[in-house]
Amino acid sequence: MLVKNKEVTMREVIEYVANLYKEKGMSGFYADESWSLYSADYEIGLDTICVIEDPVDIDDDDNEILPESIVERNMVFIWSDELLQDTISSAIDQKADASPELILEAINYYDVNDDFMTIK
């Protein structure tokens, strides 16, 4: 289980989500409460330090409110759990033994193109 407010690498996040999907399918994703990925870096590599925390909140004036622990760390929102789960599961569906490097490439592709990467 990904623990909120704990530093992890992007590789650890990918491996956790990939293993959860391989073991339980999509239903494994719905057992956890919602979360988002935050980092101090905009360029995310496998060794980038990230934090799993509650999703961004939106106030009545449509302002984003980051969790306090993220503000204290000077981090920014990177990706939602849904984006990570969807892109990782898509990559695994196309290539069961997709490496963390390939999965990160698929995540970045989706982030830029708003479409899933075709993996051959």
- Tens digits of per-residue pLDDT, 40-73? 999 999 999 999 999 999 999 999 999 999 999 9
The pLDDT of residue 29: 83
Rounded to two decimals, the pTM is 0.92
CB 22 within 8 A of CB 90: no
Q: How far apart are CA 112 and CA 65, in angstroms?
A: 24
Which residue bears the tokens 């073991």?
23
Angle, helices 100-113/81-94, rounded to nearest 10 degrees: 120
